[in-house]
Structure 1
Protein backbone atom coordinates (compact mmCIF):
# COMPACT_ATOMS: atom_id res chain seq x y z
CA UNK A 1 0.00 0.00 0.00
CA UNK A 2 1.33 3.35 -1.02
CA UNK A 3 1.41 5.80 1.89
CA UNK A 4 2.56 9.32 2.49
CA UNK A 5 5.62 9.65 4.65
CA UNK A 6 4.81 9.58 8.35
CA UNK A 7 6.26 12.96 9.25
CA UNK A 8 4.19 14.22 12.19
CA UNK A 9 2.63 17.63 11.63
CA UNK A 10 1.32 19.54 14.67
CA UNK A 11 -2.42 19.99 15.00
CA UNK A 12 -3.81 23.50 15.14
CA UNK A 13 -6.34 24.76 17.64
CA UNK A 14 -8.91 26.61 15.61
CA UNK A 15 -11.51 29.10 16.75
CA UNK A 16 -15.05 27.98 16.07
CA UNK A 17 -17.89 30.17 15.02
CA UNK A 18 -21.34 29.44 16.40
CA UNK A 19 -24.44 31.31 15.33
CA UNK A 20 -27.89 30.03 16.22
CA UNK A 21 -30.81 30.95 14.04
CA UNK A 22 -33.90 32.57 15.50
CA UNK A 23 -35.93 29.37 15.19
CA UNK A 24 -35.37 26.80 17.89
CA UNK A 25 -35.58 24.09 15.23
CA UNK A 26 -32.84 25.65 13.13
CA UNK A 27 -29.42 23.99 13.21
CA UNK A 28 -26.56 25.92 14.75
CA UNK A 29 -23.46 26.62 12.71
CA UNK A 30 -20.35 25.29 14.39
CA UNK A 31 -17.41 25.53 12.02
CA UNK A 32 -13.76 26.62 12.21
CA UNK A 33 -13.40 30.30 11.35
CA UNK A 34 -10.47 29.46 9.08
CA UNK A 35 -8.89 26.31 7.68
CA UNK A 36 -5.39 26.21 9.13
CA UNK A 37 -2.30 25.47 7.08
CA UNK A 38 0.34 23.01 8.27
CA UNK A 39 3.95 24.20 8.59
CA UNK A 40 5.60 24.68 5.21
CA UNK A 41 7.59 21.75 3.84
CA UNK A 42 9.82 21.64 0.78
CA UNK A 43 9.22 18.96 -1.83
CA UNK A 44 11.85 16.24 -2.03
CA UNK A 45 14.47 17.29 -4.57
CA UNK A 46 15.88 13.75 -4.61
CA UNK A 47 12.54 12.44 -5.85
CA UNK A 48 12.51 15.02 -8.65
CA UNK A 49 16.12 14.24 -9.56
CA UNK A 50 15.30 10.54 -9.68
CA UNK A 51 12.45 11.18 -12.11
CA UNK A 52 14.23 13.79 -14.24
CA UNK A 53 17.99 14.03 -13.57
CA UNK A 54 18.26 17.05 -15.87
CA UNK A 55 16.09 19.00 -13.39
CA UNK A 56 18.19 18.25 -10.32
CA UNK A 57 19.53 21.81 -10.06
CA UNK A 58 16.58 23.67 -11.58
CA UNK A 59 14.63 25.92 -9.16
CA UNK A 60 11.37 24.29 -8.14
CA UNK A 61 9.25 27.28 -9.15
CA UNK A 62 10.68 27.13 -12.66
CA UNK A 63 9.79 23.42 -12.83
CA UNK A 64 6.23 24.18 -11.74
CA UNK A 65 5.88 26.98 -14.27
CA UNK A 66 7.14 24.70 -17.02
CA UNK A 67 4.66 21.99 -15.99
CA UNK A 68 1.85 24.56 -15.97
CA UNK A 69 2.76 25.57 -19.52
CA UNK A 70 2.43 21.91 -20.55
CA UNK A 71 -0.97 21.49 -18.86
CA UNK A 72 -3.00 21.39 -22.09
CA UNK A 73 -0.86 18.68 -23.66
CA UNK A 74 -0.84 16.63 -20.45
CA UNK A 75 -4.63 16.74 -20.11
CA UNK A 76 -5.00 15.88 -23.81
CA UNK A 77 -2.79 12.84 -23.26
CA UNK A 78 -4.81 11.77 -20.20
CA UNK A 79 -8.02 11.92 -22.23
CA UNK A 80 -6.53 9.71 -24.96
CA UNK A 81 -6.04 6.79 -22.55
CA UNK A 82 -8.65 4.07 -22.13
CA UNK A 83 -8.61 2.70 -18.59
CA UNK A 84 -11.38 1.48 -16.26
CA UNK A 85 -12.72 4.08 -13.86
CA UNK A 86 -12.33 1.74 -10.88
CA UNK A 87 -11.14 -1.69 -9.76
CA UNK A 88 -11.68 -3.79 -6.61
CA UNK A 89 -9.06 -2.77 -4.08
CA UNK A 90 -8.30 -6.41 -3.28
CA UNK A 91 -7.51 -7.20 -6.93
CA UNK A 92 -5.28 -4.34 -7.99
CA UNK A 93 -2.60 -5.34 -10.52
CA UNK A 94 0.92 -4.01 -10.27
CA UNK A 95 0.48 -2.37 -13.68
CA UNK A 96 -2.13 -1.76 -16.35
CA UNK A 97 -1.93 -1.71 -20.12
CA UNK A 98 -3.68 1.51 -21.15
CA UNK A 99 -4.69 1.63 -24.83
CA UNK A 100 -4.04 4.99 -26.50
CA UNK A 101 -6.80 6.19 -28.81
CA UNK A 102 -5.50 7.33 -32.20
CA UNK A 103 -5.48 11.09 -32.70
CA UNK A 104 -4.24 13.43 -35.41
CA UNK A 105 -3.16 15.89 -32.71
CA UNK A 106 -1.56 13.53 -30.21
CA UNK A 107 0.90 15.27 -27.86
CA UNK A 108 4.56 14.36 -27.43
CA UNK A 109 5.36 11.19 -25.53
CA UNK A 110 6.61 13.19 -22.52
CA UNK A 111 3.08 14.52 -21.98
CA UNK A 112 1.58 11.09 -21.30
CA UNK A 113 0.89 9.89 -17.74
CA UNK A 114 3.53 7.80 -16.01
CA UNK A 115 1.41 6.10 -13.33
CA UNK A 116 -2.15 5.18 -12.42
CA UNK A 117 -3.27 6.17 -8.93
CA UNK A 118 -5.71 3.70 -7.36
CA UNK A 119 -7.45 5.92 -4.83
CA UNK A 120 -9.48 4.90 -1.79
CA UNK A 121 -10.56 6.94 1.22
CA UNK A 122 -9.85 6.59 4.90
CA UNK A 123 -12.78 6.19 7.27
CA UNK A 124 -14.24 9.66 7.93
CA UNK A 125 -13.99 11.00 11.45
CA UNK A 126 -17.13 12.02 13.33
CA UNK A 127 -15.23 14.80 15.10
CA UNK A 128 -14.94 18.38 13.91
CA UNK A 129 -12.22 19.15 11.35
CA UNK A 130 -8.63 19.23 12.50
CA UNK A 131 -5.54 19.68 10.40
CA UNK A 132 -4.68 16.20 9.02
CA UNK A 133 -1.21 14.86 9.63
CA UNK A 134 0.87 12.46 7.60
CA UNK A 135 0.80 10.10 10.60
CA UNK A 136 -2.99 10.14 10.95
CA UNK A 137 -3.25 9.80 7.17
CA UNK A 138 -1.29 6.54 7.27
CA UNK A 139 -2.91 5.23 10.48
CA UNK A 140 -6.37 4.96 8.91
CA UNK A 141 -5.33 2.67 6.05
CA UNK A 142 -7.27 -0.28 7.45
CA UNK A 143 -10.56 1.60 7.15
CA UNK A 144 -10.31 2.33 3.44
CA UNK A 145 -13.10 1.53 1.01
CA UNK A 146 -13.19 -1.68 -1.04
CA UNK A 147 -13.23 -0.02 -4.47
CA UNK A 148 -10.32 2.00 -5.81
CA UNK A 149 -10.93 4.82 -8.28
CA UNK A 150 -8.29 5.05 -11.01
CA UNK A 151 -6.61 8.29 -12.13
CA UNK A 152 -3.75 8.57 -14.65
CA UNK A 153 -1.08 10.88 -13.25
CA UNK A 154 2.28 12.40 -14.15
CA UNK A 155 4.96 11.57 -11.62
CA UNK A 156 6.82 14.86 -12.06
CA UNK A 157 3.63 16.86 -11.42
CA UNK A 158 3.09 14.99 -8.15
CA UNK A 159 6.73 15.23 -7.08
CA UNK A 160 6.90 18.96 -7.83
CA UNK A 161 3.90 19.77 -5.63
CA UNK A 162 3.53 17.12 -2.91
CA UNK A 163 5.96 17.29 0.03
CA UNK A 164 4.49 14.12 1.58
CA UNK A 165 5.02 11.97 -1.49
CA UNK A 166 7.66 9.22 -1.44
CA UNK A 167 9.41 8.02 -4.58
CA UNK A 168 6.99 6.40 -7.01
CA UNK A 169 7.70 2.98 -8.53
CA UNK A 170 9.68 3.16 -11.78
CA UNK A 171 7.71 3.81 -14.95
CA UNK A 172 9.28 2.74 -18.21
CA UNK A 173 8.03 3.41 -21.75
CA UNK A 174 6.33 0.37 -23.25
CA UNK A 175 7.79 1.01 -26.70
CA UNK A 176 4.34 0.67 -28.31
CA UNK A 177 2.51 3.57 -29.91
CA UNK A 178 -0.90 2.01 -29.31
CA UNK A 179 -0.71 1.46 -25.54
CA UNK A 180 1.18 2.33 -22.37
CA UNK A 181 2.09 0.05 -19.49
CA UNK A 182 1.65 2.12 -16.34
CA UNK A 183 2.46 1.11 -12.75
CA UNK A 184 -0.58 1.08 -10.45
CA UNK A 185 -0.05 2.95 -7.17
CA UNK A 186 -2.54 2.13 -4.36
CA UNK A 187 -3.16 5.40 -2.56
CA UNK A 188 -5.37 6.10 0.45
CA UNK A 189 -6.50 9.69 0.92
CA UNK A 190 -8.58 11.44 3.61
CA UNK A 191 -11.43 12.01 1.12
CA UNK A 192 -11.83 10.24 -2.21
CA UNK A 193 -14.73 12.35 -3.49
CA UNK A 194 -12.68 15.55 -3.70
CA UNK A 195 -9.50 13.89 -4.96
CA UNK A 196 -10.56 14.44 -8.62
CA UNK A 197 -10.62 18.21 -7.97
CA UNK A 198 -7.10 18.11 -6.53
CA UNK A 199 -5.82 15.79 -9.25
CA UNK A 200 -7.25 18.02 -11.99
CA UNK A 201 -5.87 21.20 -10.46
CA UNK A 202 -2.33 19.85 -10.11
CA UNK A 203 -2.36 18.89 -13.78
CA UNK A 204 -4.23 21.82 -15.38
CA UNK A 205 -3.46 24.62 -12.83
CA UNK A 206 -6.89 26.16 -13.48
CA UNK A 207 -7.80 27.96 -10.27
CA UNK A 208 -11.02 29.23 -11.87
CA UNK A 209 -12.23 25.73 -12.70
CA UNK A 210 -11.43 24.54 -9.18
CA UNK A 211 -13.39 27.41 -7.61
CA UNK A 212 -16.33 26.68 -9.91
CA UNK A 213 -16.21 23.01 -8.90
CA UNK A 214 -16.31 23.98 -5.22
CA UNK A 215 -19.09 26.57 -5.70
CA UNK A 216 -21.06 25.25 -8.70
CA UNK A 217 -24.11 27.45 -8.10
CA UNK A 218 -21.86 30.52 -8.51
CA UNK A 219 -20.19 29.34 -11.72
CA UNK A 220 -21.95 31.96 -13.86
CA UNK A 221 -20.78 34.75 -11.53
CA UNK A 222 -17.11 33.78 -11.24
CA UNK A 223 -14.42 35.24 -13.53
CA UNK A 224 -12.59 32.94 -15.92
CA UNK A 225 -8.84 32.54 -16.17
CA UNK A 226 -6.97 32.15 -19.42
CA UNK A 227 -5.26 28.91 -18.31
CA UNK A 228 -2.26 27.97 -16.18
CA UNK A 229 -3.45 30.65 -13.77
CA UNK A 230 -0.79 29.97 -11.16
CA UNK A 231 1.96 31.03 -13.54
CA UNK A 232 0.56 34.54 -14.09
CA UNK A 233 2.28 37.37 -12.18
CA UNK A 234 -0.77 38.26 -10.08
CA UNK A 235 -2.65 35.02 -9.94
CA UNK A 236 -6.34 34.32 -10.27
CA UNK A 237 -7.32 34.65 -6.62
CA UNK A 238 -5.70 38.07 -6.14
CA UNK A 239 -8.52 39.80 -8.03
CA UNK A 240 -11.18 39.10 -5.37
CA UNK A 241 -11.82 42.08 -3.08
CA UNK A 242 -13.79 41.91 0.16
CA UNK A 243 -16.72 43.61 -1.57
CA UNK A 244 -16.60 41.01 -4.34
CA UNK A 245 -16.60 38.18 -1.78
CA UNK A 246 -19.57 39.75 0.02
CA UNK A 247 -21.54 39.96 -3.24
CA UNK A 248 -20.74 36.35 -4.09
CA UNK A 249 -21.81 35.23 -0.61
CA UNK A 250 -25.09 37.10 -1.02
CA UNK A 251 -25.69 35.46 -4.40
CA UNK A 252 -24.88 32.06 -2.93
CA UNK A 253 -27.29 32.55 -0.02
CA UNK A 254 -30.04 33.74 -2.36
CA UNK A 255 -29.52 30.75 -4.67
CA UNK A 256 -29.60 28.27 -1.77
CA UNK A 257 -32.73 29.86 -0.29
CA UNK A 258 -34.54 29.89 -3.64
CA UNK A 259 -33.77 26.21 -4.18
CA UNK A 260 -34.56 24.83 -0.73
CA UNK A 261 -35.81 27.53 1.65
CA UNK A 262 -34.03 28.55 4.84
CA UNK A 263 -33.62 25.14 6.46
CA UNK A 264 -32.84 23.27 3.26
CA UNK A 265 -30.60 26.08 2.10
CA UNK A 266 -28.57 25.90 5.30
CA UNK A 267 -28.12 22.17 4.81
CA UNK A 268 -27.06 22.71 1.20
CA UNK A 269 -24.44 25.26 2.23
CA UNK A 270 -23.19 23.01 5.04
CA UNK A 271 -22.80 20.15 2.55
CA UNK A 272 -20.97 22.53 0.23
CA UNK A 273 -18.65 23.56 3.07
CA UNK A 274 -17.91 19.88 3.76
CA UNK A 275 -16.63 19.52 0.19
CA UNK A 276 -14.23 22.42 0.77
CA UNK A 277 -12.99 21.03 4.09
CA UNK A 278 -12.48 17.61 2.51
CA UNK A 279 -10.36 19.15 -0.25
CA UNK A 280 -8.42 20.96 2.49
CA UNK A 281 -7.79 17.65 4.26
CA UNK A 282 -6.35 16.12 1.10
CA UNK A 283 -4.21 19.20 0.46
CA UNK A 284 -2.77 19.08 3.99
CA UNK A 285 -2.15 15.34 3.86
CA UNK A 286 -0.18 15.55 0.61
CA UNK A 287 1.82 18.53 1.84
CA UNK A 288 0.83 20.81 -1.05
CA UNK A 289 1.68 24.50 -0.62
CA UNK A 290 0.58 25.89 -3.98
CA UNK A 291 -0.40 29.54 -3.47
CA UNK A 292 -3.35 29.52 -5.85
CA UNK A 293 -4.71 26.23 -4.51
CA UNK A 294 -4.74 27.58 -0.97
CA UNK A 295 -6.17 30.85 -2.26
CA UNK A 296 -9.11 28.99 -3.82
CA UNK A 297 -9.71 27.00 -0.63
CA UNK A 298 -9.67 30.18 1.46
CA UNK A 299 -11.96 32.02 -0.97
CA UNK A 300 -14.52 29.25 -1.19
CA UNK A 301 -14.58 28.75 2.56
CA UNK A 302 -14.93 32.48 3.30
CA UNK A 303 -17.78 32.83 0.81
CA UNK A 304 -19.56 29.83 2.32
CA UNK A 305 -19.16 31.05 5.91
CA UNK A 306 -20.51 34.47 4.99
CA UNK A 307 -23.45 32.93 3.12
CA UNK A 308 -24.21 30.63 6.06
CA UNK A 309 -24.22 33.56 8.47
CA UNK A 310 -26.55 35.52 6.19
CA UNK A 311 -29.02 32.64 6.11
CA UNK A 312 -28.70 31.91 9.82
CA UNK A 313 -29.69 35.49 10.64
CA UNK A 314 -32.89 35.26 8.62
Structure 2
Protein backbone atom coordinates (compact mmCIF):
# COMPACT_ATOMS: atom_id res chain seq x y z
CA UNK A 1 0.00 0.00 0.00
CA UNK A 2 1.64 3.19 -1.19
CA UNK A 3 1.72 6.20 1.08
CA UNK A 4 3.98 8.77 -0.60
CA UNK A 5 1.76 11.63 -1.81
CA UNK A 6 2.34 13.71 -4.91
CA UNK A 7 4.24 16.86 -3.86
CA UNK A 8 2.63 19.91 -2.33
CA UNK A 9 1.04 22.27 -4.85
CA UNK A 10 0.17 19.78 -7.59
CA UNK A 11 -2.90 17.59 -7.86
CA UNK A 12 -2.60 13.96 -8.87
CA UNK A 13 -3.68 14.71 -12.46
CA UNK A 14 -1.08 17.41 -12.95
CA UNK A 15 -3.05 20.66 -12.66
CA UNK A 16 -1.42 23.58 -10.92
CA UNK A 17 -3.22 25.38 -8.13
CA UNK A 18 -5.42 28.26 -9.30
CA UNK A 19 -8.65 29.93 -8.32
CA UNK A 20 -12.08 29.07 -9.67
CA UNK A 21 -15.37 30.78 -9.08
CA UNK A 22 -18.16 29.04 -7.24
CA UNK A 23 -21.57 30.62 -6.74
CA UNK A 24 -20.51 34.18 -7.46
CA UNK A 25 -17.49 36.22 -8.45
CA UNK A 26 -16.93 37.09 -4.79
CA UNK A 27 -16.55 33.43 -3.72
CA UNK A 28 -13.29 31.78 -4.70
CA UNK A 29 -12.19 28.19 -4.15
CA UNK A 30 -8.72 26.74 -4.77
CA UNK A 31 -8.40 24.72 -7.95
CA UNK A 32 -6.69 21.94 -5.98
CA UNK A 33 -6.36 20.99 -2.34
CA UNK A 34 -2.69 21.23 -1.39
CA UNK A 35 -0.93 18.17 -0.05
CA UNK A 36 1.33 18.72 2.97
CA UNK A 37 4.92 17.61 3.12
CA UNK A 38 5.14 13.87 3.64
CA UNK A 39 6.18 12.53 7.03
CA UNK A 40 6.32 8.88 8.07
CA UNK A 41 4.42 7.47 11.04
CA UNK A 42 6.27 7.33 14.36
CA UNK A 43 7.97 4.05 15.38
CA UNK A 44 7.28 4.95 19.01
CA UNK A 45 3.57 5.23 18.24
CA UNK A 46 3.66 1.76 16.68
CA UNK A 47 5.52 0.42 19.73
CA UNK A 48 2.99 1.96 22.12
CA UNK A 49 0.09 0.35 20.25
CA UNK A 50 1.75 -3.02 19.71
CA UNK A 51 5.04 -3.60 21.63
CA UNK A 52 5.51 -6.95 19.90
CA UNK A 53 5.93 -5.13 16.58
CA UNK A 54 8.98 -3.08 17.58
CA UNK A 55 11.48 -3.10 14.70
CA UNK A 56 9.00 -4.82 12.38
CA UNK A 57 8.94 -3.14 8.93
CA UNK A 58 6.03 -0.77 8.47
CA UNK A 59 5.04 -2.35 5.17
CA UNK A 60 4.59 -5.70 6.88
CA UNK A 61 2.48 -4.13 9.64
CA UNK A 62 0.18 -2.48 7.11
CA UNK A 63 -0.22 -5.69 5.12
CA UNK A 64 -1.07 -7.51 8.34
CA UNK A 65 -3.69 -4.91 9.21
CA UNK A 66 -5.18 -5.28 5.74
CA UNK A 67 -5.48 -9.06 6.16
CA UNK A 68 -6.92 -8.75 9.67
CA UNK A 69 -9.49 -6.10 8.83
CA UNK A 70 -12.44 -8.59 8.93
CA UNK A 71 -11.53 -9.61 12.50
CA UNK A 72 -11.23 -6.00 13.62
CA UNK A 73 -14.53 -5.05 11.99
CA UNK A 74 -16.11 -8.03 13.76
CA UNK A 75 -14.68 -6.70 17.03
CA UNK A 76 -16.24 -3.29 16.44
CA UNK A 77 -19.62 -4.85 15.68
CA UNK A 78 -19.40 -6.94 18.88
CA UNK A 79 -19.80 -3.86 21.07
CA UNK A 80 -23.28 -3.56 22.55
CA UNK A 81 -24.65 -0.42 20.79
CA UNK A 82 -26.71 0.66 23.79
CA UNK A 83 -23.52 1.04 25.84
CA UNK A 84 -21.57 3.09 23.30
CA UNK A 85 -22.98 6.63 23.41
CA UNK A 86 -22.98 8.34 20.03
CA UNK A 87 -21.74 11.54 21.69
CA UNK A 88 -20.96 13.07 25.08
CA UNK A 89 -20.30 16.64 26.29
CA UNK A 90 -16.65 17.46 25.64
CA UNK A 91 -16.26 18.91 29.15
CA UNK A 92 -17.66 15.80 30.89
CA UNK A 93 -15.84 12.88 29.31
CA UNK A 94 -15.30 9.79 31.48
CA UNK A 95 -11.77 8.33 31.68
CA UNK A 96 -13.05 5.05 30.26
CA UNK A 97 -16.15 3.20 29.09
CA UNK A 98 -17.23 -0.28 30.15
CA UNK A 99 -18.95 -1.88 27.17
CA UNK A 100 -20.61 -5.30 27.28
CA UNK A 101 -19.90 -7.62 24.37
CA UNK A 102 -22.71 -9.16 22.38
CA UNK A 103 -22.61 -12.42 20.45
CA UNK A 104 -20.54 -12.12 17.26
CA UNK A 105 -22.58 -11.21 14.20
CA UNK A 106 -20.27 -13.15 11.89
CA UNK A 107 -18.28 -16.40 12.07
CA UNK A 108 -15.03 -14.39 12.06
CA UNK A 109 -13.15 -14.42 15.38
CA UNK A 110 -13.28 -10.79 16.57
CA UNK A 111 -10.31 -8.61 17.46
CA UNK A 112 -11.67 -6.08 19.92
CA UNK A 113 -10.99 -2.33 19.84
CA UNK A 114 -8.55 -0.80 22.29
CA UNK A 115 -9.79 2.78 22.77
CA UNK A 116 -12.74 5.10 22.31
CA UNK A 117 -11.87 8.41 20.69
CA UNK A 118 -13.94 11.39 21.84
CA UNK A 119 -13.77 13.40 18.62
CA UNK A 120 -14.71 17.08 18.79
CA UNK A 121 -14.20 20.10 16.58
CA UNK A 122 -10.94 22.01 16.83
CA UNK A 123 -12.75 25.01 15.31
CA UNK A 124 -14.98 25.58 18.34
CA UNK A 125 -13.93 26.60 21.84
CA UNK A 126 -17.46 26.26 23.21
CA UNK A 127 -18.76 23.35 25.26
CA UNK A 128 -19.64 21.10 22.33
CA UNK A 129 -20.40 17.43 21.97
CA UNK A 130 -17.72 14.86 21.21
CA UNK A 131 -18.48 11.97 18.88
CA UNK A 132 -17.54 8.66 20.51
CA UNK A 133 -15.63 6.43 18.06
CA UNK A 134 -14.24 3.00 19.05
CA UNK A 135 -10.91 2.21 17.35
CA UNK A 136 -7.97 -0.17 17.32
CA UNK A 137 -4.91 1.86 18.26
CA UNK A 138 -2.60 0.04 15.83
CA UNK A 139 -4.83 0.92 12.88
CA UNK A 140 -4.37 4.62 13.59
CA UNK A 141 -0.72 4.40 14.64
CA UNK A 142 0.22 2.68 11.37
CA UNK A 143 -1.53 5.24 9.16
CA UNK A 144 -1.68 8.62 10.95
CA UNK A 145 1.65 10.39 11.35
CA UNK A 146 0.36 13.27 13.47
CA UNK A 147 -1.47 11.42 16.23
CA UNK A 148 -0.18 11.12 19.80
CA UNK A 149 0.75 7.69 21.10
CA UNK A 150 -2.20 5.45 21.98
CA UNK A 151 -0.84 2.87 24.42
CA UNK A 152 -2.86 -0.33 24.25
CA UNK A 153 -4.18 -1.36 27.70
CA UNK A 154 -3.44 -4.82 29.03
CA UNK A 155 -6.90 -5.34 30.50
CA UNK A 156 -8.17 -8.91 30.02
CA UNK A 157 -11.20 -9.43 27.79
CA UNK A 158 -14.18 -11.14 29.40
CA UNK A 159 -17.81 -10.28 28.71
CA UNK A 160 -17.08 -6.56 29.05
CA UNK A 161 -14.47 -4.29 27.48
CA UNK A 162 -12.98 -1.45 29.50
CA UNK A 163 -11.80 1.05 26.92
CA UNK A 164 -9.88 4.27 27.70
CA UNK A 165 -11.54 7.42 26.36
CA UNK A 166 -9.08 9.65 24.48
CA UNK A 167 -10.13 13.24 23.64
CA UNK A 168 -9.20 14.29 20.10
CA UNK A 169 -9.89 17.62 18.38
CA UNK A 170 -9.84 17.83 14.59
CA UNK A 171 -11.41 20.23 12.07
CA UNK A 172 -14.32 17.98 11.05
CA UNK A 173 -15.56 15.24 13.41
CA UNK A 174 -18.11 14.15 10.79
CA UNK A 175 -15.36 13.62 8.21
CA UNK A 176 -13.38 11.54 10.70
CA UNK A 177 -16.04 8.83 10.59
CA UNK A 178 -15.37 8.52 6.83
CA UNK A 179 -11.63 8.26 7.46
CA UNK A 180 -12.08 5.74 10.28
CA UNK A 181 -13.96 3.43 7.89
CA UNK A 182 -11.34 3.88 5.18
CA UNK A 183 -8.47 3.04 7.53
CA UNK A 184 -10.09 -0.35 8.14
CA UNK A 185 -11.47 -1.36 4.73
CA UNK A 186 -9.72 0.96 2.22
CA UNK A 187 -12.95 1.24 0.19
CA UNK A 188 -12.51 4.19 -2.18
CA UNK A 189 -16.09 3.82 -3.40
CA UNK A 190 -17.46 4.30 0.10
CA UNK A 191 -15.36 7.43 0.60
CA UNK A 192 -16.89 9.03 -2.52
CA UNK A 193 -20.38 7.80 -1.68
CA UNK A 194 -20.15 9.41 1.78
CA UNK A 195 -19.29 12.81 0.28
CA UNK A 196 -22.04 13.37 -2.30
CA UNK A 197 -24.32 11.57 -4.80
CA UNK A 198 -22.38 9.69 -7.47
CA UNK A 199 -23.55 7.20 -10.14
CA UNK A 200 -23.72 3.63 -8.78
CA UNK A 201 -22.30 2.41 -12.10
CA UNK A 202 -19.14 4.44 -11.44
CA UNK A 203 -18.74 3.03 -7.92
CA UNK A 204 -19.09 -0.59 -9.05
CA UNK A 205 -15.69 -2.28 -8.87
CA UNK A 206 -13.97 1.08 -8.39
CA UNK A 207 -10.18 0.86 -8.14
CA UNK A 208 -7.29 3.28 -7.73
CA UNK A 209 -6.46 2.91 -11.42
CA UNK A 210 -10.07 3.80 -12.22
CA UNK A 211 -9.78 6.91 -10.07
CA UNK A 212 -6.60 7.97 -11.90
CA UNK A 213 -8.09 7.26 -15.33
CA UNK A 214 -11.16 9.36 -14.51
CA UNK A 215 -9.02 12.25 -13.32
CA UNK A 216 -7.22 12.34 -16.67
CA UNK A 217 -10.46 12.31 -18.71
CA UNK A 218 -12.18 15.67 -19.13
CA UNK A 219 -15.28 13.98 -20.52
CA UNK A 220 -15.58 11.58 -17.57
CA UNK A 221 -15.13 14.42 -15.07
CA UNK A 222 -17.76 16.48 -16.87
CA UNK A 223 -20.28 13.63 -16.76
CA UNK A 224 -19.74 13.11 -13.03
CA UNK A 225 -20.05 16.85 -12.34
CA UNK A 226 -23.22 17.00 -14.44
CA UNK A 227 -24.67 14.06 -12.50
CA UNK A 228 -23.97 15.80 -9.20
CA UNK A 229 -25.32 19.12 -10.45
CA UNK A 230 -28.58 17.49 -11.54
CA UNK A 231 -28.80 15.37 -8.38
CA UNK A 232 -28.63 18.57 -6.33
CA UNK A 233 -31.36 20.20 -8.41
CA UNK A 234 -28.78 22.80 -9.48
CA UNK A 235 -29.01 24.11 -5.94
CA UNK A 236 -25.90 26.08 -5.07
CA UNK A 237 -26.53 25.84 -1.34
CA UNK A 238 -26.64 22.05 -1.55
CA UNK A 239 -23.48 21.99 -3.65
CA UNK A 240 -21.78 24.31 -1.17
CA UNK A 241 -22.60 21.77 1.55
CA UNK A 242 -20.95 19.01 -0.50
CA UNK A 243 -17.94 21.26 -1.08
CA UNK A 244 -17.61 21.86 2.68
CA UNK A 245 -17.80 18.10 3.23
CA UNK A 246 -14.88 17.46 0.88
CA UNK A 247 -12.93 20.32 2.43
CA UNK A 248 -13.54 18.88 5.91
CA UNK A 249 -12.13 15.54 4.77
CA UNK A 250 -9.02 17.31 3.42
CA UNK A 251 -8.53 19.24 6.67
CA UNK A 252 -8.77 16.06 8.74
CA UNK A 253 -6.32 14.22 6.49
CA UNK A 254 -3.81 17.03 6.95
CA UNK A 255 -4.42 17.22 10.71
CA UNK A 256 -4.03 13.44 11.17
CA UNK A 257 -1.05 13.08 8.84
CA UNK A 258 -2.87 10.51 6.72
CA UNK A 259 -0.72 10.16 3.60
CA UNK A 260 -2.33 7.28 1.72
CA UNK A 261 -1.90 8.01 -2.02
CA UNK A 262 -5.11 6.26 -3.04
CA UNK A 263 -7.11 8.32 -0.57
CA UNK A 264 -5.48 11.58 -1.67
CA UNK A 265 -6.20 10.81 -5.34
CA UNK A 266 -9.83 10.09 -4.42
CA UNK A 267 -10.00 13.42 -2.58
CA UNK A 268 -8.63 15.21 -5.67
CA UNK A 269 -11.28 13.54 -7.81
CA UNK A 270 -14.05 14.52 -5.39
CA UNK A 271 -12.85 18.13 -5.41
CA UNK A 272 -12.80 18.23 -9.23
CA UNK A 273 -16.31 16.80 -9.39
CA UNK A 274 -17.87 19.18 -6.88
CA UNK A 275 -16.17 22.28 -8.33
CA UNK A 276 -17.33 21.27 -11.79
CA UNK A 277 -20.87 20.79 -10.50
CA UNK A 278 -20.89 24.25 -8.91
CA UNK A 279 -19.69 25.90 -12.10
CA UNK A 280 -22.29 24.03 -14.13
CA UNK A 281 -25.01 25.14 -11.72
CA UNK A 282 -23.93 28.77 -12.09
CA UNK A 283 -24.06 28.49 -15.89
CA UNK A 284 -27.44 26.76 -15.91
CA UNK A 285 -28.96 29.41 -13.67
CA UNK A 286 -27.91 32.27 -15.94
Q: TM-score range by the shorter chain?
A: 0.7 to 0.9
Relative distance call for 1:168 and 1:179 in structure 2 (3 A) is same
Offset at residue 165 of structure 1 (A): 1.0
Relative distance call for 1:266 and 1:55 in structure 2 (3 A) is same
Q: If the length of structure 1 is used for normalisation, what is the TM-score?
A: 0.77
Residue pair 2:118, 2:168 contacting (<8 A) in 1 also:
yes
Report the equivalent of 1:140.
Answer: none
Residue pair 2:21, 2:279 contacting (<8 A) in 1 also:
no
Report the equivalent of 2:212.
Answer: 238
Helix, strand or coil: the match of 2:267?
A: helix
Query: 2:230 & 2:190 partners in 1: Cα distance?
Result: 22
Moved over 3 A (4+): 10-15, 26-29, 104-109
| Structure 1 vs Structure 2 CA RMSD | 2.6
Work out whether 1:198 is the aligned partner of 2:176. Answer: no
Offset at residue 81 of structure 1 (A): 0.5
Report the equivalent of 1:149.
Answer: 131
Residue pair 2:176, 2:249 contacting (<8 A) in 1 also:
yes
Report the equivalent of 2:146.
Answer: 164
Offset at residue 105 of structure 1 (A): 3.6
Residue pair 1:206, 1:225 contacting (<8 A) in 2 also:
no
Relative distance call for 1:296 and 1:144 in structure 2 (3 A) is farther
After superposition, the C-alpha distances for 1:10-59 in whole angstroms (9 at most, x for unaligned) are: 99996322267xxxxx6754111110011001100121123223323333
Report the equivalent of 2:193.
Answer: 212
Where in structure 1 are there 5+ consecutive unaligned residues?
Answer: 1-9, 21-25, 125-142
Report the equivalent of 2:97.
Answer: 96
After superposition, the C-alpha distances for 1:227-248 in whole angstroms (9 at most, x for unaligned) are: xx6xxxx556334241322211
Helix, strand or coil: the match of 1:218?
A: coil
Query: 2:107 & 2:98 partners in 1: Cα distance?
Result: 18
Query: 2:30 & 2:160 partners in 1: Cα distance?
Result: 47
Q: If the length of structure 2 is used for normalisation, what is the TM-score?
A: 0.84
Find 1:268's aligned residue among 213, 218, 238.
238
Helix, strand or coil: the match of 1:313?
A: helix
Give the number of aligned pairs.
Answer: 267
Deviates further, 54-63 or 189-198: 54-63
1:54-69 equivalences in 2 (<5 Å): 54-69=52-67
Query: 1:105 & 1:19 partners in 2: Cα distance?
Result: 46
After superposition, the C-alpha distances for 1:153-212 in whole angstroms (9 at most, x for unaligned) are: 010010011111121144223331x11111110111111121211111112211111111
Relative distance call for 1:87 and 1:205 in structure 2 (3 A) is same
Work out whether 1:179 is the aligned partner of 2:168. Answer: no
Query: 1:305 & 1:198 partners in 2: Cα distance?
Result: 22
Where in structure 2 are there 5+ consecutive unaligned residues?
Answer: 1-7, 11-15
Residue pair 2:175, 2:248 contacting (<8 A) in 1 also:
yes
After superposition, the C-alpha distances for 1:257-291 in whole angstroms (9 at most, x for unaligned) are: 3xxxx4xx122111101100011001100111011
